[in-house]
Each structure stands twice: as C-alpha cells, then as structure tokens.
Structure 1
Amino acid sequence: MSDWERSSTARVIPPSRPRKLAKVPFVELADGRLQGVVSSGSSAARVYVSSIEAGGYGFACSTNNNRRCGGLAMFCNHIRALVKEAVVQYGAERVARYLRVECADGEPDAEALLTEMAAARPTPKVNEAAAPVFSRFLRHLAYMELSPTTAPLPEMQWFPPTRAVA
C-alpha cells in the first residue's frame, strides 16, 4: 500500500500547465457544463460566473449578484477567459471531450474550441448555475485558507460515525 493510500487526503491531479489564478480563480467541468468564476476587468470587487453547456453550447455569464454580462451577444471576454483557463487546467482534449466539441484540425486549442462552438450558433441562457458555482468557489477559498493537516475535517466526513447497538 502506498503512502497516499494510507493518508486521509485525496490525491490531486496536477494541472496540465501551471495556471495564473488572478483572472480565472475557479474553473470546473461539472453538471454538464464548463463553468467557473472570472474576475472583472474593470473592478477588483466584481466577479462573473460564466458557463457553457456541453453539446448545445448554450452560454451564460452574470455577476455574483445576478446582473447579466454586458458583452453577452456571443462569447464574452469572461467566457473566452474561462475556456482558455480550462484548457490550461484540464488540457484541450479533455475540455473538448467534455463539451462534445469536434475539432477538424487535429489537436484542439482554446481558440479552436471557441471557433467550433461559435459556429454552432449557441444562444445565451439564464445563468441558473451562478449561485451553486459561486458557493462552491467560496467553499474552495475557505479550504485554501486552512493549514495543511492529515486530521479529518468534520464537514468532509460523508458518513456519520456508527454506534454500537446495545
């Protein structure tokens, strides 16, 4: 049994390349979407929750206060940044596979993915994912502030302790 199998921590798959977290601090492939939190280019206090659905490429972008992004006629700069950082985090092939994007020109990159998805003429959607994605982002930040330990965290224990029946 290896050391990581005996520890109380899970193995983390490293990103395909190191990411700069200032622009896109949170990106995930979850719930049938590429989704994440993107910093505003104009205000340090504002962030956007952006997402693209797998398959149909319906997209959404709004602030954490549910104000729709002003550049959302097509893929706005926030969505473009999200796709680029997802490619850095997961690799272009994995992102393409998850979103079900068929790239004709060999190995895809972020621009090729965006071009192929835009060619399908996706439509903007209501950002129903904003609240849960932003909540996961805040939870992610809370865990980042903890000091490293192998002691169990109560909120990470999925199964309640069992008691002996007398």
Structure 2
Amino acid sequence: MPLPVWEGSSTARVVPPARPRKLAKVPFVQLADGRLQGVVSSGSDIARVYVSAIEAASFAFSCSTNNNRPCGGAHGGYCKHLDALIAEAVVQFGAERVARYLRVDLGGDEADGRTVARAMADSRPVKAEQSPAAAVFARFLSHLEYLEHEPVTVPLPDMAWFPTAWAAA
C-alpha cells in the first residue's frame, strides 16, 4: 500500500487550530513530551512569564517563572497560569484532543476547557518532582526566532538537517 504523500516529504503536517487564539495571555502552548506545556504571561508584570506544565495521566503540575522562581499560586492545586494554559490548549487543539492526550476521564461529559480542568483537579494532582521549565522556555524562544526571518522558500540553515531533494543535488 503506498504511503500518503505527506509521509514521504520532509515537512510536517500542520493541524489547523480548533479556533483562532489570542496570543497575548498564552503565547506558546503545546502537547509534547507527555505533557501539556506552555508559556503564560504574568498578569501583574509585563516583563515576566510563567512556564507551566501538566503531565499526562498523573496530572502532576509545575509552574515557575522563566528564571525558575516558583509560582506563588501553585500550592495545593492549579494556579491561574495553569488554568489559562488549559483553556488555551482547548482553543488551539480542541477539548477532545486535549482530554485524550492528557488521559482525562470526563465521565461522559461533553468536553470543554472547564470540564477538562475540573476532571484533572478532582484527582488531586500534586506538584511535579521536576519542572520542564528550561526545555519549554528554550523551545518557545526557538519558535520566536522564526518570527524574525523574512518569508523565504529556500531552506533555513538550522533546518538543513532535514532530508530533502535539494540536498542531493
């Protein structure tokens, strides 16, 4: 059986967002490395961001500033940064996909951001032993660098390791 065309190319298939997002509050959100993770802007300081993450299945969470100061609101449960991260993930990926990725049992309820967050909070999540803040923030900064490039059709030097037809020429 022949492979789909996209599997034979050097580019990744992009899944369109479930709904358009506003990037001011949560500029970066992703389902990766077995976590929902992202960067959330501080509500009180324009120069501060929080790196927040929730692990799949265990719902263990972490939230700290980009310079590894712990979030003051993430003690016995999810803080407002984690709530914002969940809400934006649902906007970006859809509630069903987020719930499926995080292995949230919604008990037959129709999925939305509040039901996903409530189902995880009801399981009494604990703080994660290790925070992925450095890796998540580095990934966010890497994505920001691409905004500084002019649109081009030639390969970018840092993406040259992808196998492509032009490399064989």
Q: Same fold (TM over 0.5)?
A: yes
Is 2:123 the partner of 1:116? no
Q: Which residue of 2 aligns with 1:154?
A: 157
Count matched residues: 160
1:159 to 1:146, Cα distance in 2 relative to 1, 3 A: closer
Is 2:88 the partner of 1:89? no
In the TM superposition, residue 11 of structure 1 has moved relative to its aligned partner by 4.6
Unaligned 5+ segments in structure 2 are 1-5
In the TM superposition, residue 106 of structure 1 has moved relative to its aligned partner by 3.1
Asked if 1 retains the 8 angstrom alpha-carbon contact of 2:26 and 2:38, the reply is yes
| Structure-2-length-normalised TM-score | 0.87
Distance 1:10 1:57 in 2: 28
Equivalent position SS for 2:31: strand
Asked if 1 retains the 8 angstrom alpha-carbon contact of 2:109 and 2:115, the reply is no
Is 2:51 the partner of 1:49? yes
- When structure 1 is superposed on structure 2, of 9-18 and 57-66 the one drifting more is 9-18
Which one-letter code corresponds to 1:98 in the other structure?
Y
| Structure-1-length-normalised TM-score | 0.88
Distance 1:144 1:8 in 2: 21
Q: Which residue of 1 aligns with 2:68?
A: 66
In the TM superposition, residue 8 of structure 1 has moved relative to its aligned partner by 7.4
Which one-letter code corresponds to 2:48 in the other structure?
R
Q: Which residue of 2 aligns with 1:103?
A: 106
Which one-letter code corresponds to 1:31 in the other structure?
D
Distance 2:10 2:56 in 1: 33
In the TM superposition, residue 9 of structure 1 has moved relative to its aligned partner by 5.8
Unaligned 5+ segments in structure 1 are none
Equivalent position SS for 1:22: coil
Q: Which residue of 2 aligns with 1:75?
A: 78
Is 2:137 the partner of 1:134? yes
Q: Which residue of 2 aligns with 1:33?
A: 35
Asked if 2 retains the 8 angstrom alpha-carbon contact of 1:50 and 1:62, the reply is yes
Distance 1:23 1:33 in 2: 19
Equivalent position SS for 1:29: strand
Equivalent position SS for 2:96: helix
Equivalent position SS for 1:60: strand
Asked if 1 retains the 8 angstrom alpha-carbon contact of 2:58 and 2:125, the reply is yes
Distance 1:37 1:136 in 2: 10
1:104 to 1:152, Cα distance in 2 relative to 1, 3 A: same
Distance 1:8 1:126 in 2: 36
Equivalent position SS for 2:140: helix
Distance 2:99 2:12 in 1: 26
